[in-house]
Structure 1
Amino acid sequence: MKNVFLMVVLVGALTLSDFAEAAPNQPNVLFIFADDMSYETIGAAGMLDIDTPNLDTLAKSGASFTHAHNMGAWGGAVCTASRSMLNTGRFLWHAGASVKPCVAENRMWSQRMQEAGYQTYFSGKWHVPGANPQGLFHVVKNVRAGMPKQTPQGYNRPKSPEDYASGWKPWETKYGGFWEGGTHWSEVLANDGVEYLDSAAKEEQPFFMYLAFNAAHDPRQSPKEYIDRYPLERIKLPENFLPQYPYADKICGLGLRDEKLMPYPRTDYAVKVNRQEYFALITHMDDQIGRILEALKESGKADNTYIVFTADHGLAVGHHGLSGKQNMYDHSVRVPFFVVGPGVKAGTQIDTPIYLQDAMATILDLADASTEGVEFKSLLPLLDEESSEHYEAMYGAYMKTQRMITKGDWKLISYPTANVERLFNLNKDPNEMDDLAGNPEYSNKLVEMRVALAELCEAMDDPRTKDSTDAKE
């Protein structure tokens, strides 16, 4: 598998002498990265009524990892931490401080790929503080900020059908956001990718392409035809919908930017409209991904290209009465994760928990690039069926207010500053609705999970284990 398994990237018309010498027959890599996309938002997963035909095909064409996690964040912008971990290969509490040293020492993901002989290309959302993609990739197009500009009209909506009729609408270009520049940003990214693949068809050098959509982050804007595909009667409320999460003020704050997108208390109508816009933006992105995949096929490079698709974290959009990703529930910490390419058995489903940042270690492994200092793990043993074991337990953290461990069927969420614990059996209760922390029948399990979480926090250099008031918190 190592000689045949690598992910897809798009390539540009560059002088081959500008790159390190590549090993013979190195595969190309196309890494496609979404934003704010929960694991449930893939039609083929069968959890939601959502149209993602191109991602469905991708999922069925290779290996689908059903339990891919983000480790968390040191601040409100969860994507910043996620992308810093992805590009440095360092765990949560090490990643932020590692960005500048990694850049200086040529240890960022793209730099390592260049050293292995790859042409590197970037377009889309970056959001890694302390690093400039212009100095990290051979070709850079249309670098985007953390999110398209949101406007005051995009918050606290919709309060009612009447409010919606007279207010902000996803297809109105006057609000800017994804429409800034005249062409929807997802379409711009697809245009960039198609253009680069056309150039790659003429080159022999292997390529690593990093395509990062801003979708499906808010403002959730897409052409009206996509909104029309999701009439509100098609949208179902999440089973774990709540008007307001009972600990929201303690764990992230009612005034957190993401949480202000919908009115409090959450209403059926507001949640359905926000989910309508979320699904429409994802379907629009899916169409752009289809264009990229078709261009790869037409380039003649598909047979020697590996594709990885994932996202930086999930999103609540009404689950548990929450709107954003600043929580430890599966809808916000789990993402889709697909690997497709020669040697990868079509229709493979791998349920072993992984971190989405394992993508970096896997690609480096496949490229015979240096993995020195990388803390995340290669997925090759799972893909080669050499092992079904990966991490003993999954860790999660959000600032100083939330900690999480998932181990086997069990998840413990701890809110240290609120002195609250929540215990769930994910096998019996996948929607995380039945909190067992106060049930005497599970008191031993609660203690067991507390101990495991404390040990995992210490292993992760969690600043809370040292009674630290670390600046990142």
Structure 2
Amino acid sequence: MTYVDTIPQPSFRRRAAQLLAASTFACLVTMQAGALATAAESRPNLLFIFADDQAYDTLGAAGNAEVHTPNLDRLAKRGAQFTRCYNQGGWHGAICVASRTMLLSGRSLWHAKAAEPILKSDFQAQGKLWPQLLEKAGYDTYFSGKWHVKADPNKVFTVSRHVRPGMPAQTPAGYNRPTGPDDQKWRPWDTGAGGFWEGGKHWSAVLADDAIDYLDRAAGRDNPFFMYLAFNAPHDPRQSPQEFVEQYPLDKISLPQPFLAEYPYQIGSNRIRDEQLAPFPRTEYAVKVNRQEYYAIITHMDQQIGRILDALEKTGKADNTYIIFTADHGLACGHHGLLGKQNMYDHSVRTPFLIAGPSIKPGEKIAAPIYVQDAMATTLELAGVDRPDHVEFQSVLPLLDGRAGRPLMYGAYTDTQRMISTPEWKLIHYPKINTKLLFHLTVDPLETTDLAQQPEHASKVARLTHALEQMQGELDDPLAKKPAGK
């Protein structure tokens, strides 16, 4: 079985080592003094760009011809695109909290939940969080945007600005809409509605301003930098200037498949906040409007990312900078009758993941499964920092050499949903209602046809159930079956 779409190229690590050796040799030839500055200059800069609620298929580079993402598309062309990137899930409705806690601590889902109450007193105090590990290695660290983690960013980063909450303030008018074409009580470009417009300028544009200002200052420094830029977009309220919404006429918006008026199973999230954004039962019109606004705020964010990438080029440091773009999780936004991300379907558990930088072959598409949180271990390896024992996630760099990824991917939501996936098959389990769903992803990537009740697939369900139970034990899932006598 091959997990990589492209023919394996010469070793990424060998190419990176050659570049580092050449840089080091040049420095030794030209400089005998300033050894510490030389060492700093030889290490790459790290630019991490993080979206909120962005599904894996909402990029032009991912094959979506409806959404306009020219700047993310050019980033994908410059580097590698991992096409099967997953988030492990969440322990409550704010999936972003779990995703970001995992990302910053390096802990897997249930270990991250256990770590959350002591994130400040233990992880932060001992310098074990992602930016702290890089700062110890000589990096200047910078943050702006969404935080939503129980640690103090002002103490975790060298510099932090505009620390944003989990989401911009939503208004009552932003829910249960639109009821029809005449429902105009809430509009994305209404700056009086607060939300992303609070403070007078769209939060995505403010984040880009912050990043550009920091890059201007970093241009004059010798230390390598690590930038963690966390957009609140495209989370609701999905607000953007009117010209971005008008790029997406409703008659050009495809209805997401499968389209359902309401999800048929009670999965513990059917009526939570995210699902209240559109009326029940779902209508084609309401879902299309929600997707129109979703695409518009993604395109607006993409414009801001373009500004950041252009500013990086102007610093003269782009050739020694690795860029990672991903999101905390995906979003249903109308698929399967769902609006939120509190489910185990690919639209909600999978995200984009792009990486570009020195020695990464341009234009690669890699199907090896990874987790969002592998970004942390990846940057540690790029910086030459040993991965600490508490970091459970893995670097993606070996996969750039064509090596196989994880054979199984795990997902969970509270005590109501579990998932295990291979590149070919997915099993979803709803333990509260004793229901299992089976999808053949190779022939049914949109997960439209449940095969679990078909007799010819009974053995597949049994094997995946056994594999899921094994993973639950390995990950200390609270629903894991306890061995006899324990």
Q: TM-score range by the shorter chain?
A: over 0.9
Who is 1:203 aligned against?
221
Instruction: Give the match's secondary structure for 1:162.
Output: coil
1:105 aligned onto 2:126? yes
Shift of 1:382: 0.8
Amino acid at match of 2:470: E
Tell me the alpha carbon deviations over residues 99-155 of structure 1, each in whole angstroms, 9 at most, x when there is no partner: 2321121110000000111000000001112x0100000000100000000010000
Given the superposition, is the C-alpha separation of residues 251 and 48 from structure 1 closer, same or farther in structure 2, using an over 3 Å criterion?
farther
Scaled by the length of structure 2, the TM-score of the pair is 0.90
**Among the aligned pairs, what percent are the same residue?**
59
Tell me the alpha carbon deviations over residues 390-432 of structure 1, each in whole angstroms, 9 at most, x when there is no partner: 2220000000000000023010000000111000000010010
**Which of 426, 437, 450 is the aligned partner of 2:452?**
437
User: Does the CA contact (< 8 Å) of 1:156 and 1:261 recur in 2?
Assistant: yes
Who is 2:272 aligned against?
256
**Which of 92, 95, 117 is the aligned partner of 2:109?**
92
Deviates more, 1:342-351 or 1:100-109: 100-109
Shift of 1:80: 0.2
User: Does the CA contact (< 8 Å) of 2:263 and 2:270 recur in 1?
Assistant: no
User: Does the CA contact (< 8 Å) of 1:119 and 1:206 recur in 2?
Assistant: yes
CA–CA distance in structure 1, aligned partners of residues 38 and 107 of structure 2: 27
Amino acid at match of 2:166: G
CA–CA distance in structure 2, aligned partners of residues 123 and 107 of structure 1: 20
**Which of 219, 222, 233 is the aligned partner of 2:237?**
219
CA–CA distance in structure 2, aligned partners of residues 256 and 424 of structure 1: 25
Instruction: Give the match's secondary structure for 2:410.
Output: strand
Tell me the alpha carbon deviations over residues 9-55 of structure 1, each in whole angstroms, 9 at most, x when there is no partner: xxxxxxxxxx9995450000000000000001001222341100000
Larger Rg: 2
Amino acid at match of 1:332: S
**Which of 279, 287, 291 is the aligned partner of 1:275?**
291
Instruction: Give the match's secondary structure for 1:464.
Output: coil
Shift of 1:369: 1.8
CA–CA distance in structure 1, aligned partners of residues 39 and 107 of structure 2: 26
Structure 1 unmatched ranges of 5 or more: 7-18, 468-473
Query: Superposed, which structure 2 residues align to 1:46-85 within 5 Å?
Result: 46-85=63-102
Given the superposition, is the C-alpha separation of residues 423 and 173 from structure 1 closer, same or farther in structure 2, using an over 3 Å criterion?
same
Scaled by the length of structure 1, the TM-score of the pair is 0.92
1:160 aligned onto 2:176? no
1:371 aligned onto 2:387? yes
Instruction: Give the match's secondary structure for 2:411.
Output: strand
Instruction: Give the match's secondary structure for 1:147.
Output: coil
CA–CA distance in structure 2, aligned partners of residues 20 and 323 of structure 1: 50
User: Does the CA contact (< 8 Å) of 1:159 and 1:263 recur in 2?
Assistant: yes
Who is 1:148 aligned against?
168
CA–CA distance in structure 2, aligned partners of residues 173 and 24 of structure 1: 44
Who is 2:50 aligned against?
33
Tell me the alpha carbon deviations over residues 419-453 of structure 1, each in whole angstroms, 9 at most, x when there is no partner: 11000000010010110000001011111111011
CA–CA distance in structure 2, aligned partners of residues 246 and 20 of structure 1: 61
Amino acid at match of 1:347: G
Shift of 1:96: 2.6
Structure 2 unmatched ranges of 5 or more: 1-11, 21-35
User: Does the CA contact (< 8 Å) of 2:427 and 2:439 recur in 1?
Assistant: yes
Who is 2:27 aligned against?
none
Instruction: Give the match's secondary structure for 2:378.
Output: helix
1:297 aligned onto 2:313? yes
Who is 1:15 aligned against?
none
CA–CA distance in structure 1, aligned partners of residues 323 and 299 of structure 2: 19
Over the aligned positions, Cα root-mean-square deviation in angstroms equals 1.7
CA–CA distance in structure 2, aligned partners of residues 384 and 205 of structure 1: 29
CA–CA distance in structure 2, aligned partners of residues 162 and 23 of structure 1: 60
